[in-house]
Amino acid sequence: MTTVLIVDGANVVGSRPDGWWKDRAGAAARLHARLMVADVPQDQVVLVLEGAAKGGVRAGRDAHVRTVHAPKSGDDAIVAEAKAASERGDRVTVVTADRILMGRVEHHGAMILTPTWLLDHL
């Protein structure tokens, strides 16, 4: 069974007041770089980006990290990723602090971890 970690990029970046709002694309690129070398227990990492953050990382796969550019709502893209992974039989974990999103992905069997958990592993 494959384990998949889906990262709510906006939520993780926004969890620390480090000036990310001045350069959303740069903040996304820094998060992506940290995910590339992160020691997380999941087999695959999916980074979902929306809005201006998409300018920091190209969509596609880099080693074990796949970046998804949300066409509209980042939350909708995260739910779609969680649903697809669950339907493949993967074990899914979503990193977010968004309570509404939590309920939506838990409906598809996803476990939830906080941005703090992820940042502590980066």
Long-range contacts of 84-87 (CB under 8 A, 24+ apart): 85/2, 85/4, 85/6, 85/46, 86/110
pLDDT single digits (tens) 47-58: 999 999 999 999
| Residue in this structure with the two tokens 């070398």, named with its chain if needed | 37
- Residue 105: domain span: 3-121
Single pTM value for the model? 0.95
Q: What is the CATH number of the domain that holds 87?
A: 3.40.50.1010
- Helix (H, G, I), strand (E, B), or coil: what is residue 6? strand
- Average the pLDDT over 95-109 and give the result: 96
Q: How many domains does the chain have?
A: 1
pLDDT single digits (tens) 7-28: 999 999 988 888 888 999 999 9
Q: Report DSSP state, residue 93.
A: E
